[in-house]
Amino acid sequence: MSDPVLTIRGLRRSYKSGDKVLTVLNGVDLYVRPGEIVGLIGPSGSGKSSLLHAAGLLEHPDAGQIIVEGRDCSDLSDRQRTRVRLATIGFVYQAHHLLAEFTALDNVALPQMIAGRSRKAARARALDLLSNLGLRERVDHQPAQMSGGEQQRVAIARALANGPRLLLADEPTGNLDPHTSTAVFDSLYALARSEGVAALVATHNLELAKHMDRVLALKDGHLEAQKL
């Protein structure tokens, strides 16, 4: 069995709220292997976003190890963490955060060009990803000219544009109606699977979670395996 892309050991994270300390992650352990899609469920405020932010090296936890592609990233500098993110991790959020003045094609090509890929190669890769997501006829449209589901599929393509080994998705269908949610999740699932990435997907939608390889529930600061 292949080694995990993401391994987390003993992760702890607390926040101060007035005179109180709220502990949202209390010794969390998890792993995600290449090609595996793992669901993360839990009530609002349970710490799902905190876990994803820590896994994506966007926040420093209070304690614990975060290992990405075999590298312990726990004590890296901010600059080193940024390099790991750019090279290894893709993010999809509930809000698509597309650049309004650019087309779908350019929204997906720009991150690649920032990473050093030529404009021609970046646009070719963008076209391939968008076509695989059913957006071949929408590549020259700006976000305002697309539906919410189409915009989120562009965001998925952008997250995978630089060939990350790890995909982190935080409620990627949370702003969509049930029918569109299913279509967007199916697109994310198929593309993540074809790209062979390890994916950790936080969701409130238990019907979608049922289709993932494993589901973990976050409650009282701990993760537990769930059968849906």
pLDDT in tens, 48-91: 999 999 999 999 999 999 999 999 998 899 999 999 998 899 99
**Residue 186 in this model has a pLDDT that exceeds 90:** no
How many Å is the Cα radius of gyration of the chain?
A: 17
When mean pLDDT is compared over 3-7, 16-20, 169-173, 218-222, the highest value belongs to: 3-7
Nearest to 200 by CA among 66, 28, 33, 71: 33
**Residue 103 in this model has a pLDDT that exceeds 80:** yes
**Residue 130 in this model has a pLDDT that exceeds 90:** yes
Per-residue b or e along 21-44, where b marks 16 or more CB atoms closer than 10 Å to that residue's CB: eeebbeebebbbbebbbbbbbbee
Q: What would the mean pLDDT of 109-123 be, rounded to a whole number?
A: 94
User: 3-37: per-residue pLDDT in tens?
Assistant: 999 999 999 999 988 888 889 999 999 999 999 99
The tokens for 219 are: 């409650």
User: 191-202: per-residue pLDDT in tens?
Assistant: 888 888 999 999
Mean pLDDT (the chain, rounded)? 91
pLDDT for the residue numbered 1: 63
Whole-number percent of the chain with pLDDT over 90: 67
**Residue 178 in this model has a pLDDT that exceeds 90:** no
Whole-number percent of the chain with pLDDT over 70: 100
**Residue 145 in this model has a pLDDT that exceeds 80:** yes
- Spatial neighbors of 119 by CB under 8 A, at least 6 apart, are 109, 113
Q: What is the pTM of this model?
A: 0.91
Nearest to 28 by CA among 201, 219, 166: 219
**Residue 155 in this model has a pLDDT that exceeds 90:** yes
